[in-house]
Structures are given as C-alpha cells and as structure tokens.
Amino acid sequence: DASLESGAEIILKAKTSFEQQPENLKDFGREIYVFDGELKPNWTRDAKGNLLHNMRHLCTVTADLSPLWPLSNMAEGQPGFKYWLLEYELVISLIGTKMAARIRWKKEGKVALGPIHVIRDF
C-alpha cells in the first residue's frame, strides 16, 4: 500500500469488461478514490451508494485504451455469458503538489506505456 506522499508511485491494477467491442475507447474514464483510514475496505461505497467514511475522491483519469483492444481476452461469466476483458495498470506518481499518471500494459512480453489525462480534485 502506497501513501499519498511526494515521490510516491501508486500502481492500480485495472480490469475493464465489455459485452461487445466498444465503438470508442479513445476517452475511457475512471474515478480514483483513496482511503484515509487504517483497515483498507474492499469497496468504495456502502449498500446505499454512499462513499464510505474516510474514503475520498482523488481524481478522474481518462486514457486511450484503443491500443489495448487487440490484447483483450474473451472471458466467460455466468453460463453462456461471454465478455471481452482488458487488463492494464494505472500508474500515478506524486511529485510535490503535482500528479502525473500513465497507463501501463504488456504487449508481447514487453512493457508498453501510454498517456493519461488527470483531472484532480482540490
């Protein structure tokens, strides 16, 4: 677990699923939350949809996932339910008061990187 201190690099493993090939993956967005408590919960929200105590929104990131689509895998959930799965990492670096981010994935055994646009909450 990384803390939100200057110089920290936070790596978030991400999976995104689709029932069919999406028309546009160029501006795929994801909300990033941080937890300021002791015991890290498995969820960000309670059963009523409210943010958990000590959970706060850090930023929204958008990235172009289209280079990852050829690497997607067909997966199967409930009997007969198939979907496409993209796996990647969001890498967030904190340098002083600035936040930088990039998307990281593996292609043919090599690490590939792409840019992420960060909209930070203040």
Give the rounded distance of the alpha carbon of 32 from its chain centre: 7
What is the pLDDT confidence band of residue 4, given thresholds at 50, 70 and 90? low
Give me the long-range contacts of 69-74 (CB less than 8 A, separation at least 24): 69/21, 69/25, 71/105, 71/107, 72/18
- By the 10 Å C-beta count (0-12 exposed, 13-18 middle, 19+ buried), 30 is classed as middle
pLDDT digits (tens, 9 = 90+) for 18-41: 888 887 888 888 888 888 888 888
Mean pLDDT for all residues in the chain:
85
pLDDT digits (tens, 9 = 90+) for 63-112: 998 888 888 888 888 888 889 888 999 998 877 778 888 999 988 889 99
What is the pLDDT confidence band of residue 122, given thresholds at 50, 70 and 90? low
What is the pLDDT confidence band of residue 6, given thresholds at 50, 70 and 90? low
Residue among 22, 19, 1, 18 nearest 10 (CA): 1
